[in-house]
């Protein structure tokens, strides 16, 4: 039997069906704390709970295409660079059937979320509270504007927790923090992002010396506007480093 004959006789119903979904972890920093975009579920299961924007992968689309479709239709955002974070496939993660979710991850400046939040009232930029120190890992909490914990759907507390763990792990050796900042930023803003991700204060002189010594920063000669005191110098990230 050659391959064409094998495929003609192959029975795709010989195995139990399995569905694949994508979930988007779209993160930023707001008021000195990490935050992620969540959507309130309008259907069962977990009706009324908060979830990551997600959806099922269609039979005729790739995982990346599904992620960008969900980005546009569920998160109401365009042009964000998303990359795969991890696969979540616990047998009981969804009460409907066996569903494997491929989580995608993106870091964005806070202002990128404004249009989406205005267009879709079911969306919320929720603060992420991390109950573990360093790179211990584990689920996290999502909190609303009043500081109360939001009930999360499925295993999305674990997905958000892994995103925070990955972010903390990459912070020291990569330039991920710059994805959370506008094109021009102050050293204070850069330190705020690091402190928000790490969940701990940093020594100001030591932090600035380390950032400048790495060669990642390019001074612009410009200064911030609207400051009460002496305006701070603005920098940009050397994208070719």
Residue closest to 100 by CA, chosen among 109, 91, 108:
91
Residue 17: the pLDDT is 85
Phi then psi for residue 46, to 5 deg, are: 60, 40
pLDDT digit string, tens, across residues 220-238: 999 998 766 789 999 999 9
One DSSP character per residue, 9-46 reads H--GGGS---EEEEEEEEEEEETTEEEEEEEE--SSSS
Residue pair 45/197 in contact by the 8 Å Cβ criterion: no
What are the CA-CA distances from residue 163 to residues 23, 26, 137, 157, 219 (Å)?
Answer: 12, 10, 10, 10, 31
pLDDT digit string, tens, across residues 154-189: 999 999 999 999 999 999 889 899 999 999 999 999
Query: For residue 113, is pLDDT > 60?
Result: yes
Q: What are 3's two structure tokens?
A: 């391959």
Q: DSSP secondary-structure letter at 152?
A: B
Give the integer Cα–Cα distance in Å for 39 and 48: 9
Q: What are 220's two structure tokens?
A: 């612009």
Which domains, from first to last, does the chain contain?
A: 12-171 (3.90.79.10), 176-237 (1.10.10.10)
pLDDT digit string, tens, across residues 28-39: 999 999 999 999
Indicate whether this model's pTM tops 0.75: yes
Three-state DSSP state, 137: coil
């Amino acid at each position: 039997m050659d391959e064409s004959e094998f495929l003609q006789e192959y029975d795709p119903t010989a195995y139990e069906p399995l569905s694949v979904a994508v979930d988007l972890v779209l993160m930023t920093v707001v008021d000195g704390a990490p935050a992620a975009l969540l959507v309130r579920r309008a259907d069962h299961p977990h009706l009324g709970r908060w979830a990551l924007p997600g959806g099922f992968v269609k039979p005729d689309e790739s995982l990346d295409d599904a992620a960008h479709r969900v980005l546009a239709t569920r998160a109401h955002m365009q042009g964000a660079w998303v990359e795969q974070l991890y696969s979540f496939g616990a047998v009981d993660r969804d009460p409907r059937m066996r569903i494997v979710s491929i989580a995608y991850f993106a870091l964005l400046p806070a202002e990128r979320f404004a249009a989406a939040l205005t267009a879709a009232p079911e969306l919320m930029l929720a603060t992420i509270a991390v109950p573990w120190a360093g790179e211990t890992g584990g689920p996290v909490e999502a909190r609303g504007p009043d500081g109360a914990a939001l009930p999360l759907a499925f295993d999305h507390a674990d997905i958000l927790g892994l995103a925070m763990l990955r972010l903390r792990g990459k912070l020291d050796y990569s330039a991920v923090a710059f994805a959370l900042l506008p094109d021009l930023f102050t050293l204070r803003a850069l330190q705020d992002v690091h402190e928000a991700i790490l969940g701990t204060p940093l020594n100001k002189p030591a932090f600035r010396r380390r950032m400048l010594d790495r060669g990642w920063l390019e001074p612009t000669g410009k200064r911030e506007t609207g400051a009460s005191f002496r305006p701070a110098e603005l920098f940009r990230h050397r994208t070719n480093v």
